[in-house]
Amino acid sequence: MTRLLLGRLVQAALVALVVGGLCFALVRVLPGDAAFRIAADRYGPDALTAQAAEAVRQELGLDRPWPELLLRWFGELAQGHLGNSLVSGEPVSEELASQLGPSLWLAASALVLSLLIGLPLGLVSGLRAGSGLDRLALIGAVALRALPPFVLGLVLMLVFSIRLEWLPPAGYGTWREMALPSLTLALGLAAVSSRVARDAVAAVGATTYYRFARLKGLPERAVLVRHGLRNAAIPVITYLGLQAVYLIEGVVVVESLFAYPGIGHALVHDVIARDVPMVQGAALVMGLMFVLLNLGVDLLCRLLDPRLGAGR
């Protein structure tokens, strides 16, 4: 256990170094004049002129050699300071905190909603593998996954905000504004996790130990709970940790569509505007979150199946 934690700590440090350095390198090497980009984001298209760009260049010292800037960033990082945004001038840590909060809530509620929708569906489909319900669930899952999150969000808006008038279409404030964006993401996630759960449950249902439990005379429910769920849960939970890929991309689009002030659409702005400290800071924070998430997934898997922890 402590070995696992220590290993993750080392990994976190490694992630910080690699992700930070990589982002820095990539953004620096990008074509396009950084001063013009930053000025465009600051002053808008109508007021953008070469003078504005020059002023930005002077103010931010964008002409300095890159090793100096990189070393300075690492130095600041060691002191726990992530630098200032080139566009707004505010500290990166403050901006990230205000952007990350909403996004984390969105992602968390989307994940939980997707579990609530996907797992029971997958369970039932897996137990009745090959039946009409299973096939219907398959078609539903494929349909949801074949729709871009953008379109799904718009459809949900049309249904829930215009037709039914239950929920507001966009904004940020209470759970009502968060409902549609997280439902959009949750449906896409649930589509896949329900299929993964279904496969896992169906596979477990055909194993020897499962059959043996039934032969022993245990009631169906006990068989399911004691022998089925824990074994089926492992691939599902492993896959959950990977849903993050879909989640991140979905979060960007969903935040843009629903005018949700999170890190997704801020990140797009920052890459386009070449706001190096913000991109580095965001990538770093996301990277560390992944490490945490992986740690959680690993611990959960070990909890469910002690054999994984023991030496092989």
Partner 1 sequence: MMLQMQDLAGTTPPRSDPWPISRRIGLGLLALLAAFALLGPVLVTADPARQDLSASLAPIGSDFLLGADHYGRSMLARLAYGARLSFGMALLTMLSAAAPGLLLGVLAAWRGGVTERALVALSDIVLALPGLLLVLLLLAFAPGHFLPLYLGLSLSLWVEFFRVARTTTARLLVEPRIEASRLLGFGTFYILRHQVLPEIAPLLLTLASFAMGTAILAISTLSAISVGLQPPTPELGSMIVELLPYYDEAPLTVLMPGILIFLLVLGLQLTARGGTVR
Partner 2 sequence: MLFVPRPRRAVLRGLIGLAGLLALAPAAGAAEGRSAPERALTVVGPWEVGGLDPASNGHAFTRLQVAETLVGVDAAGAPAPGLATGWTVAPDGLTWHFLLRSGVRFHDGSPLTAGIAAESLRRARANVGPLSRVPIATISAEDGAVVVVLQRPFALLPAFLANHTTIILAPASYEPSGRVVRIIGTGPYCAVTVAPPLRIELERFEDWWGGRPAIARARYLAVGQGETRALMAESGEADVVVSILPVSLARLRRNPKLAVQTVTPPRTRLLKLNAGSPLFSDPRARRALSLALDRTGLAKVLLRNPGLGADQLFPPAVSGWHAEGLPPLTRDLAQARILLAQAGWRPGTDGILERDGRRFAATLRTYSAWPELPPLAAAIQAQAREVGIDLAVSIGNTSDIPARHRDGSLDLGLVSRSFAMIPDPLGTMLQDFGLDGGDWGAMNWSSAETASLLDRLAVLADPAEREPLQRRLAEILQAELPVIPVTWAELAVVANRRVAGVRADPLERSYGLAEMRWGTP
Asked if 9 interacts with partner 1 (CB under 8 A), we say no
Residue at token pair 């979150």: 289
Applying the rule CB under 8 A, the residues between 77 and 106 that interact with partner 1 are none
Give the one residue of 96, 196, 276, 278 binding partner 1; rule: CB under 8 A. 196
By CB under 8 A, residue 222 contacts partner 1: no
Taking Cα atoms as reference points, which of 238, 261, 302 lies closest to residue 95? Answer: 261
CA separation for the pair 274, 268 (Å, rounded): 10
Q: How many residues bind partner 1 (CB under 8 A)?
A: 77
Nearest to residue 140, comparing CAs of 196, 187, 181? 187
258 sits near partner 2 (criterion: CB under 8 A): yes
Q: What are phi and psi of 91, to 5 degrees?
A: -60, 140
Choose the contact partner of 134 out of partner 1, partner 2, none; CB within 5 to 8 A by kind: partner 1
Question: Does 222 engage in binding with partner 2 (CB under 8 A)?
Answer: no
26 binding partner 2? (CB under 8 A): no
Of residues 60, 133, 147, 161, which one binds partner 2 by CB under 8 A?
Answer: 161
- Which of 5, 6, 13, 22 binds partner 1 (CB under 8 A)? It is 22
Q: In 228-242, which positions are buried (b, 16+ CB within 10 angstroms) versus exposed (e)?
A: bbebbbbbbbebbbe
93 touches which of partner 2, partner 1, none (CB within 5 to 8 A by kind)? none
Q: Which one of 5-13, 82-90, 120-128, 130-138 is the stretch in contact with partner 2 (CB under 8 A)?
A: 82-90
The count of residues in the chain is 312
Nearer to partner 1, 17 or 116 (CB): 17
Task: Verify binding: residue 286, partner 1, rule CB under 8 A.
Answer: yes
**Rounded CA separation 120/116 (Å):** 7
Q: Which is nearer to partner 1, 52 or 203 (CB)?
A: 203
Q: Is 180 in the site for partner 1 (CB under 8 A)?
A: no
8 A C-beta contact, residue 108 and residue 100: no
Q: Could you say which residues in the range 121-150 bind partner 2, by CB under 8 A?
A: none
Q: Is 296 an interacting residue with respect to partner 1 (CB under 8 A)?
A: no
Single out the residue of 244, 234, 260 nearest to residue 293, CA to CA. Answer: 244
What gap in Å lies between CA 149 and CA 107, rounded to an integer?
Answer: 14
259 interacts with partner 2 by CB under 8 A: yes
Q: What is the number of other CB atoms lying within 10 angstroms of the CB of residue 160? A: 17
Binding mask 42-61 for partner 1 (x = CB under 8 A): --------------------
List binders of partner 2 among 28-47 (CB under 8 A): 32-33, 36-37, 39-40, 42-47
Which residues inside 231-250 make contact with partner 2, applying CB under 8 A? none
Contacts with 88 (C-beta within 8 Å, 6 or more apart), sequence order:
42, 95
For 130: left if phi > 0, alpha if psi spans -120 to 50, otherwise beta; the answer is left
Q: Interface with partner 1 includes 271 (CB under 8 A)?
A: yes
Instruction: Give the residue with the Cβ less far from partner 2, 16 or 180.
Output: 180
Contact between 160 and 167 (Cβ < 8 Å): yes
Lookup result for tokens 């002077």: 58
Q: Which residues of 42-54 are buried (b: 16+ CB within 10 A; e: fewer)?
A: beeeeeeeeebbe
Q: Which of 35, 115, 267, 273 is in the footprint of partner 1 by CB under 8 A?
A: 267
Residue 151 binding partner 2, by CB under 8 A: no
Min dist. Cβ of residue 139 to partner 2 (A)? 27
